[in-house]
Amino acid sequence: SKEDITLGKFFDEHEIPFDRDQIMNKKNGDECEPGKPGAVKMFVNGQSNDEFRNYVGAYTPDVKDHVIRIVFE
């Protein structure tokens, strides 16, 4: 089912905390740089994406074109 292939399910299977407010041990508002609060952000193929846990990857003929990047900055 669609729920079985979400990004959230992937992180749950690997026991890694992940949602729009947290990645691993970093939470929105935690210090990123000295004196600067950070935030979790997600990009798919270079474009900002706000689906986070609900994201289901698109299938393309060339999987190398499909890149998910999650950052805390």
> Over the stretch 12-64, which tens digit does the pLDDT of each residue have?
999 999 999 999 999 999 999 899 999 999 999 999 999 999 998 776 666 66
Q: How distant, in Å, are the alpha carbons of 5, 30, 67, 72, 73 from that of 37?
A: 31, 5, 26, 10, 8
Decide: residue 23, CB within 10 A, 0-12 exposed, 13-18 middle, 19+ buried.
buried
pLDDT surpassing 70 at residue 9:
yes
* pLDDT band, residue 1 (cuts 50/70/90): low
Predicted confidence band of residue 66 (pLDDT cuts 50, 70, 90):
confident
Residue 73 has pLDDT above 80, yes or no: yes
